[in-house]
Structure 1
Amino acid sequence: MAFRTLQSNVCLLLLILACLHFSTENSTAAISFREKCECVEETDSVQWRKIKDYTIRQKEPLCNKVQIKLQLSGKQACLNPDSKQGKKLQKCWKRIKFNTQRKKICLKLQKKNGPKKPKRL
């Protein structure tokens, strides 16, 4: 009789271990494949004068896209890296060779070239 209770206890223990194994394996898989991108919603443009600071993060193993985080007056926003403004900001960032002390240069408003005035004689 003692053998039957021992056998049933071992079966119960194996059943519990199997359930624990499968439940922990699924939750671990879900966590390891989750993307950790900070920018979920992106905007295509923001007024240049409202941008106080910015951060550009290149593609990473857990986030497969370039992220441009903007610090606006009082809030944060994410800029679409494929938009016209996003491409300009990335181009300037590469031009200054990723120097964080010079990154304010990229925020200066660029003057648009209008029609040239004819020279006086």
Structure 2
Amino acid sequence: MAFRTQQASICLLLLILVCLHFITDAVYIREKCECVEETGSVQWRKITDYRIIEKDPLCKKVQIIVQLSGKKACLNAESKQGEKLQRCWRRIKFNTQRKKDCLKLKKKNGAKKPKRH
């Protein structure tokens, strides 16, 4: 009799351990960000397209994915260039038709044209 109760106790303990394992896996969700490595800046003229992914339950940071000629790169959202791109994206009210407007280089105020002689 003692052997059966000991065997039942071991089975019950194993069952509890298996249940705990699945419960903790279900509760813990790993971040799944597309951007693992980020760069501080890229050359504006080489950007052909971009995508801004806002924070969500799977990734707790803003992601900026820029398409360069032939490859993709992740831009740091907190860098000067990343913030400028985000401001423009908000200014055009997330309109994908006007997305290219944010990639146009603007001349700085006071820049003069070179004189022709």
Three-state SS of the structure 2 residue aligned to 1:69 is: strand
Q: Give yes or no for the alignment of 1:100 onto 2:96.
A: yes
Structure of greater Rg: 1
2:11 maps to: 13
How many angstroms apart in 1 are the aligned matches of 2:22 and 2:36?
28
How many angstroms apart in 1 are the aligned matches of 2:10 and 2:111?
86
How much does 1:52 deviate? 1.0
How much does 1:78 deviate? 0.9
2:106 maps to: 110
Three-state SS of the structure 2 residue aligned to 1:46 is: coil
Give the direction of change, closer, same or farther, for the CA distance of 1:4–1:105 in structure 2 (3 Å limit).
Answer: same
Q: 2:63 aligns with which of 41, 61, 67?
A: 67
Q: What pairs with 1:68-87 in structure 2 (closer than 5 Å)?
A: 68-87=64-83
Three-state SS of the structure 2 residue aligned to 1:103 is: helix
Give the direction of change, closer, same or farther, for the CA distance of 1:15–1:116 in structure 2 (3 Å limit).
Answer: closer
How much does 1:4 deviate? 4.4
- Stretches of structure 1 that go unaligned for 5 or more consecutive residues are none
TM, length-normalised to structure 2:
0.80
How many angstroms apart in 2 are the aligned matches of 1:22 and 1:66?
33
TM, length-normalised to structure 1:
0.78
How many angstroms apart in 1 are the aligned matches of 2:6 and 2:31?
44
1:24 maps to: 22
How much does 1:114 deviate? 4.1
Q: 1:35 aligns with which of 31, 35, 38?
A: 31
Percentage of pairs with the same residue: 61
Give the direction of change, closer, same or farther, for the CA distance of 1:52–1:28 in structure 2 (3 Å limit).
Answer: same
- What is the one-letter code of the residue matched to 2:63? Q
